[in-house]
Amino acid sequence: MSRLTIVTKNKAQETVEELYKDLERRIAASQPGLCPVELTSAFLHMSHAQSCGKCIPCRVGLQRLEELVNQVLNRKGTMETLAMIEKTAMVIFCSADCAIGYEAARMALKGVRGFREDFVEHIQKGRCSLMSREPVPCQSLCPAHVNVPGYISLIHAGRYAEAVQLIRQDNPFPAVCGLICEHPCEARCRRSMVDDALNIRGLKRYAVEQEGDPVIPERAEATGKKVAVVGGGPAGLSAAYYLSLMGHTVTVYEQRKQLGGMLRYGIPAYRLPREILDREIETLQSTGFQAVTDVRIGRDVSLAELKEQNDALYLSIGAHQDRKIGIEGEDAAGVISAVEMLRSIGDSMPMDFTGLDIVVIGGGNVAMDVARSAVRLGAKSVRVAYRRRKADMTALEEEVEGAIADGVEICGLNAPMRIEKDAEGRVAALWVQPQKVGAIRGGRPAPEAADSAEERWACDRVLVAIGQGIDSSAFQEFGIPVHRGTIDALDSADVKDAEGIFAGGDCVTGPATVIQAIAGGKVAAANIDEYLGYDHEIRCEIDLPVIQLNDNDPRGRVEMTERPAAERIHDFCLMECAMSEEEAYQESGRCLHCDHFGYGILKGGKEQEW
């Protein structure tokens, strides 16, 4: 008899491992609006099934905790039950032997404290208060609530122009979003339960490229009402587009020489070619709104004048003000903000970095844009200094990997300390302090100074990309409420205590995504229209194809490809390659049509107008 044997998985163990992966996908694809109390019960049940049974807090306590939560779900609980849930969870958390027990209890505590009102709603009224207005996951998670399943079905049917018309009902920037949207719609795609989320952004881009001449909805009868929009970025232009369709006379006031806001002055052309942006803006302007560029509020025209001359005012300025990092030597010649650098590219006056060593400070998407642009501007070397780990960077993973492929060196766990100047006051080096991973705060490990000496990175330029802010001085002088650098506006876009003034986009949310800004403009347009005494509807009368029933066989996701790094780093031409017709047909055929089946159709599916 052998003393040792090689352990191999049997069929049952292999199946269990597969089920674990299936469960992970199912949890990741959980749609918004599910009952959090019911989910707490399910998680506790699963945690109890993982228990080895050795310690009483885990073996008995988790079962008792699940029973208490189920009392709440079954309308047998009281406020005393809720207190007992919290007390029991705390006891388990403090006394369980291992993470199976104390982490399950921590999760229950987080739930009781995080969505307590839902527990109370179940106890008092026997129902859940957290219900999603949009039952379709992709449509719900899109800030603009675009009818994603609808336009994907039109793409699959080869009806590309109609697909883009359907997108424009809620998002007037389909070409822009087809290239640069961060696609939150894919985060809970139910297709993930089968294999992987649909490539929704890629399909949008394909439809736009096959559209032909854009079809603009017929404009409503003129109302005689005048609206001024301050800011010609995605939020302002979206509001102007919809308000113009509603029949109002709209004028957009833009500080820069060209419209587009951060689309033009914050996103490099290799991601968003200017000819595509210009064509999109031209399409929006065909609805009839006017634009006044190179005008600064507070200098060339006051808010008081705009308010007097118009029936409503929409404030939608972007975050064009750079933030200082606050270290010694930041005033050295050669320290350049990301805003300044990207703006120079947007104005077609790019900086020349030929043969220079560049260091970028930051870890977000803007830092990646700056680093990759520096490579294209001729830099000899580009390094990114980031105080956290690479895995903790807020930039999209594909942006980080793309930067690395372009030749950018990502140096995580290096905190900038000071900038060294030469005798003439120019940048000579960046000194960094190596970091180590510390305790988790806010969902990410906080960096701590490592027990090692500072390092000197010789460089010619330091590019600072640590965030942007808004210039709110002109608004504060007019009495617009500003809180922590952003305008204090309601979810309806109304500005508090300011009759007829609305606000949205980055000046309300802080620096955010393009689709969030577009959603802000859409909301503002609807509520400005109502404020002016109207109830116009934005509709798109398109009959959708018959739902297919052969879409649930597992199939890989079509990923976007890019031009070879050795080729793309020498120009600012579009980097990403489009889908082929074959790929678009296959990818659009993977949609499970959540707007038609199950909960989607039960709750009315998609909205037809707004």
Neighbouring residues of 356: CB distance < 8 A, sequence distance ≥ 6 = 378, 379, 380, 459, 460, 461
Please report, for the domain that includes residue 204, its CATH number.
1.10.1060
Taking alpha carbons only, the member of 259, 252, 261 closest to residue 228 is 252
Q: Is 193 part of any domain?
A: yes
The reply to whether 20 falls in a domain is: no
Three-class secondary structure of residue 97 per DSSP? coil
Q: How confident is residue 30, by pLDDT bands cut at 50, 70 and 90?
A: confident
Q: Are residues 330 and 430 in the same domain?
A: yes
Task: Provide the pLDDT for residue 354.
Answer: 96
Q: DSSP assignment of 233-272, as one string?
A: SHHHHHHHHHHHHTT-EEEEE-SSSSS-THHHHSS-TTTS
Which pLDDT belongs to residue 109?
Answer: 94
- Measured distance CA(200)–CA(587) in Å, rounded: 9
pLDDT above 80: residue 399 = yes
* Same-domain pairing of 55 and 163: no
User: pLDDT-derived band of residue 382, with 50, 70 and 90 as boundaries?
Assistant: very high
| Mean pLDDT across the chain | 91
Return the CATH number at 237: 3.50.50.60
Whether the CB-CB separation of 199 and 296 falls below 8 Å is answered with no
14 in a domain, yes or no?
Answer: no
The pLDDT score that the predictor gives to residue 604 is: 47
Q: 440, 467, 494: which is the final residue of a domain?
A: 467
- Condensed to tens digits (0 to 9), the pLDDT of residues 581-597 reads 999 999 999 999 888 87
pLDDT single digits (tens) 291-324: 999 999 888 998 889 999 999 999 999 887 888 8
Q: Are residues 348 and 445 in the same domain?
A: yes
Using CA atoms, how far apart are residues 584 and 178, in angstroms rounded to an integer? 13
Same domain, 461 and 338: yes
User: How many degrees, rounded to 5, is the angle at CA 293 between CA 288 and CA 294?
Assistant: 175
**Residues 357, 296: one domain?**
no
Sheet holding 461-464, edge to edge: 335-337, 461-464, 357-361, 381-385, 409-411
Sign, Cα dihedral of 367, 368, 370, 375? positive
Name the 3-class secondary structure at 339: helix
Residue ending a domain, choose from 67, 100, 125:
125
> ∠ at Cα 295 (293, 299), nearest 5°?
180
pLDDT of residue 333 exceeding 60, the answer is yes
From CA 112, how far away is CA 73, in angstroms rounded?
13
Please tell me whether residues 300 and 421 are part of one structural domain: no
* One-letter amino acid for residue 565 of the chain: A
pLDDT value for 600? 53
Structural domain harbouring 419: 323-467
Q: Give strand pairing partners of 314.
A: 229, 502
The answer to whether position 131 is within a domain reads no
| 565 and 511 within one domain | no
Q: Identify whether residues 373 and 415 lie together within a single domain.
A: yes
User: Average pLDDT for residues 9-20, to the nearest whole number?
Assistant: 86
User: In percent, how much of the chain has pLDDT > 90?
Assistant: 72
pLDDT (mean) for 320-341: 91
Overall number of domains in the chain? 4
Q: What is the CATH number of the domain that holds 96?
A: 1.20.1440.230
The enclosing H or E element of 431 equals strand 427-441
Helices (H), 395-466: 397-405
